[in-house]
Structure 1
Amino acid sequence: MTHQSDPRVVAVISAFHPPQDLPERVKNLNKQVIHTVVVDDGSDIQRTDGVLKNLEDLGCTVVRMPENVGIAAALNAGIDQALRVWSPDFLVTLDQDSALDDGYIATALDTYTEAQARGVEVGLISAQSHNGLDVPLLSRRARFPEAFDPLQSGAVIPVSTFKKVGMLDERLFIDCVDSEFNLRVRSHGLATLIGKGCNMTHALGQAQPMMLFGWHVTVLGIKRHVHSHAPFRVYYMTRNSIYLWRQYGARFPVWLVRRLRFQIESDVFRMLYGANRRGQYRAFVRGCLDGWLGRLGKIDPSFQLRIRA
């Protein structure tokens, strides 16, 4: 817990069918913040009521959304609650499967203070490493390095940033929410720094063997895997990536080209080697169309059903 004179930091966690071990992670997190707000994004109450009650027993504020509204809207609801009740100086946003190392918040605030003293306008501070592996940087030669595309999970954000650039874009629903916010922060002349020494443990997506005609693809002696996503996630990733291009392509072309390379690699591998390739392809095509036409919001439920099988 912080001292009275320290910056007031409140954590906001978006949860959907939260895991049983979330209260244990929050118990450790509470040592670094003055309060934690957990937003349940429309989970099945019978499956999650016990976990949510355990979080309330720890002193957390639990906000229950009546339906699944997406990570941006869920986090915004938690941020609004934190601002109204706790008047923090900083907010740290987190996924339900993320855990901050001891001292993460204090280290991030040290980076913020040092950068501000050097005349850097800081929009947010994110992890230097995930699971012990350094994140990609915009430039390694900068005195205060910026993450290439920092996750919203683990981002320590001054309240002044939200006042200057606005809240998370709820129209994206999920996927690219953090990327859009990062670009908007940079559009306002603010830096997205890494906190020197900040490490976050984060669950990795499910990986499947990359198979070709029954052969596990091997490159330089290493068996390759592809991270698997449900087709509805492919839809959101594709649609929202195209939206980013349309909104920010003129201002950040190099950044978007670099990100596009990673996106294309993932898309090609998924459609060649992933599960439910037909659904993946249909989701990709529909995502391209809706992204180009600016159709945002939650996926059409009937289309989601058609691409599931």
Structure 2
Amino acid sequence: MTAPSGLVVDAVISAFEPGDDLAGRIDSLLPQVRRVVVVDDGSPGPWPTNLPEAVVVIRLAENSGIAVALNRGVAACLEDGAEAVLTLDQDSDLPAGGVAQLVATLAEAGEGTAFSAPEFFAGVSQVHRTDGRGRRITRHTIQSGMLVPAATWERVGLLREDLFIDLVDTEFEMRCASAGLHGVAAAGLRLGHRLGTQQRRHGWLGRLGIVGISHLTLSTPFRYYYRVRNRVVVNRERMSGTFAWRLRDTLIEAIHFVNVLSIARPRRAMWRIMTAAVSDGRAGRTGRMPAQLAPVAREVRWAADVIASPDDEDQA
């Protein structure tokens, strides 16, 4: 896509064992961008056979994490002259005209802008505040739906690959903020996406109806290794102007982790995952979760009733 401003936009989709519905999402994107690049993050199973011919597919030999997958696609696009790259998950739905709105928002925001993103991700506002120039400044921006200009990639670098998954977008956004750049939201733009499983805990606490205590949005058990470890890793980084941000996020996540531990069965299995994550984070051990923890994570069940459940989350 060449925008009125002359911006050349490519889209990169990270995929792990995608379903046939990926083809429909690509079809809706193709008219909006110059090209769509799908990066297969080492899917062990069958690959969709109905993808449009125009799509470019990059296959990774093994499951390497969302940061690696997106970086491979972004690098390929930048090398081929893309002036901005839109990153997406395989299960995100950007409406028709969404890319044009992101491009316009980016152009209007001007100097000091890191990226543009939809105002709403899965119905949740990504707007943190409105600045003196009327820009809707984002925070906790999900990478799916980010339109990042080449100048930002060049200034702050690509996504941090050793985090593997979880907080990859948060760490990138904090690096941008530390460099004096901020994300801006495209007013009213909504990106459809499936979040984690919503569950209501058993017992009297579950009957209280309090979101965050009786009703929880849960990740799959193995993801808590990455969520805990990467929180420790990110908190140990030196990024100016982000201390209060990290402190608030850590307190909120700590409450969530306590709730997760309280409903995990067997609790000792989740405790082992979380303590290993803290230990690895403090030691600076990153990358893929240790192989010996995978069977431990598969043991974990929740003492809760499913309220709403999407398909499984991002790649392992």
TM-score between the two structures when normalised by the length of structure 2: 0.87
- 2: distance between equivalents of 1:188 and 1:250? 8
Change (3 A) 1:154 1:26: same
**Is the Cα–Cα contact under 8 Å of residues 212 and 273 in structure 1 kept in the other structure?**
no
1:163 is displaced (CA, Å) by 0.8
- 1: distance between equivalents of 2:90 and 2:283? 33
1:200 is displaced (CA, Å) by 0.4
Provide the residue aligned with 1:76 in structure 2.
Answer: 71
**Aligned with 2:102 (options 102, 105, 108):** 108
1:59 is displaced (CA, Å) by 1.0
- 2: distance between equivalents of 1:11 and 1:26? 9
- What amino acid does structure 2 have at the position aligned with 1:54? N
**Aligned with 2:247 (options 243, 257, 281):** 257
Provide the residue aligned with 2:50 in structure 1.
Answer: 54
Provide the residue aligned with 1:66 in structure 2.
Answer: 61
Provide the residue aligned with 1:297 in structure 2.
Answer: 287
1:101 is displaced (CA, Å) by 1.8
SS of residue paired to 1:66 = coil
**Aligned with 1:218 (options 196, 203, 208):** 208
- 1: distance between equivalents of 2:170 and 2:149? 17
Q: Report whether the alignment pairs 1:126 with 2:120.
A: no
**Is the Cα–Cα contact under 8 Å of residues 210 and 274 in structure 1 kept in the other structure?**
no
SS of residue paired to 1:268 = helix
TM-align CA RMSD: 2.3
**1:1-309 equivalent positions in 2, closer than 5 A:** 2=2, 6-44=6-44, 47-49=45-47, 51=48, 53-55=49-51, 57-85=52-80, 87-116=81-110, 120-137=111-128, 139-140=129-130, 142=132, 143-212=134-203, 216-219=206-209, 224-248=214-238, 251-274=241-264, 276-309=266-299
**Is the Cα–Cα contact under 8 Å of residues 128 and 197 in structure 1 kept in the other structure?**
yes
Change (3 A) 1:37 1:220: closer
- What amino acid does structure 1 have at the position aligned with 2:104? D
Higher helix share: 1
Structure 2: tracts of 5 or more residues without a match: 300-316
Q: Report the more deviating stretch, 150-159 or 266-275.
A: 266-275
**Is the Cα–Cα contact under 8 Å of residues 15 and 96 in structure 1 kept in the other structure?**
yes
**Is the Cα–Cα contact under 8 Å of residues 3 and 100 in structure 2 kept in the other structure?**
no
SS of residue paired to 2:192 = strand
- 2: distance between equivalents of 1:126 and 1:276? 39
- What amino acid does structure 2 have at the position aligned with 1:89? E
Q: Deviations over 1:142-162 (max 9, x none)?
A: 521211110110000001111
Q: Deviations over 1:109-162 (max 9, x none)?
A: 11111121xxx321111110123442251x245521211110110000001111
Change (3 A) 1:165 1:25: same
- What amino acid does structure 2 have at the position aligned with 1:23? A
Q: Report the more deviating stretch, 259-268 or 290-299.
A: 259-268
- 1: distance between equivalents of 2:197 and 2:4? 42
Q: Deviations over 1:149-181 (max 9, x none)?
A: 101100000011111111111110011100111
Q: Deviations over 1:237-280 (max 9, x none)?
A: 10101111110476411111221233123212211124553322
1:3 is displaced (CA, Å) by 6.0
1:2 is displaced (CA, Å) by 4.4
